[in-house]
């Protein structure tokens, strides 16, 4: 149904993703409605297709971002057991999903890029809306440069409740996985044999007390 989900406006795109059951939960739908994809996609922002954003990177198709948000929702949303969720977005690119994850209610969202120009792009895109600028000003969202395979240590030593990885990988690097809290969840595209990614993804869940 992804190919039928495009729209003429941001609301129409999100409504079509919801109608086609690609967005399932009200919380995820509300978060996506708050973030205008036109601030992040360089052209035809309401088409359900990936787009190049330069530096051999893309902004994923909206249905892929929806799948990630749905899978990470229980770990990115405040709850009695997890009152201040921490989320790491590896390969944050345009910053679109980084913003959406913050709108889910996460207390801290860090967008991690290995290319400074992409790190700057994500931050600049968020600054295009009053809501995005507010999240940056509050410190709830920030963008950094680093090696995603090693995750990100922000000095608090607390790890991450949810980790999104935007680039396909043949393996999950131990240093990154070691930063996932227990319980915690990682969403990562899976590279199939032959180098094909398609719509495949993996979800790693680290269980622990209360998991």
- Active site residues per annotation: 60
Rounded distance between C-alpha atoms, residue 119 and residue 93, angstroms = 7
Question: Look-up: residue for tokens 């997890």?
Answer: 82
Q: What is the 3-state secondary structure (H, E, C) of 20-70?
A: CCCCCCHHHHHHHHCCCHHHCCCCCCCCCCCEEEECCEEECCHHHHHHHHH
**DSSP code for 200:** -
19 Cβ partners below 8 Å, 6+ apart? none
What per-residue string of b and e applies to 62-89 under the rule 16 or more CB within 10 Å gives b? bbbbbbbbbbbbbbbbeeeebeebbbbb
Is-contact 75 185, C-beta < 8 A?
A: yes
Determine the 3-state secondary structure of 151 from DSSP: coil
């Amino acid at each position: 149904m992804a190919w039928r989900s495009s729209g003429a406006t941001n609301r129409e795109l999100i409504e079509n993703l919801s109608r086609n059951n690609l967005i399932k939960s009200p919380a995820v739908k509300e978060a996506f409605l708050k973030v205008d994809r036109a601030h992040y996609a360089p052209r035809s922002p309401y088409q359900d297709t990936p787009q190049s954003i330069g530096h051999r990177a893309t902004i994923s198709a909206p249905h892929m971002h929806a799948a990630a948000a749905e899978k990470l929702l229980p770990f990115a949303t405040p709850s009695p057991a997890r009152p201040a969720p921490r989320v790491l977005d590896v390969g944050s690119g345009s910053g679109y999903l980084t913003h959406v994850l913050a709108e889910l209610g996460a207390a801290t969202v860090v967008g991690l890029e290995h290319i400074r120009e992409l790190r700057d792009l994500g931050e600049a895109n968020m600054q295009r809306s009053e809501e995005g600028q507010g999240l940056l000003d509050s410190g709830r969202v920030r963008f950094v440069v680093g090696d995603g395979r090693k995750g990100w240590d922000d000095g608090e030593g607390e790890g991450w409740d949810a980790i999104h990885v935007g680039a396909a990988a043949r393996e999950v690097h131990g240093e990154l996985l070691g930063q996932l809290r227990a319980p915690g969840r990682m969403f990562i595209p899976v590279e199939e044999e032959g180098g094909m990614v398609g719509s495949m993804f993996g979800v790693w869940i680290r269980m622990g007390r209360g998991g």
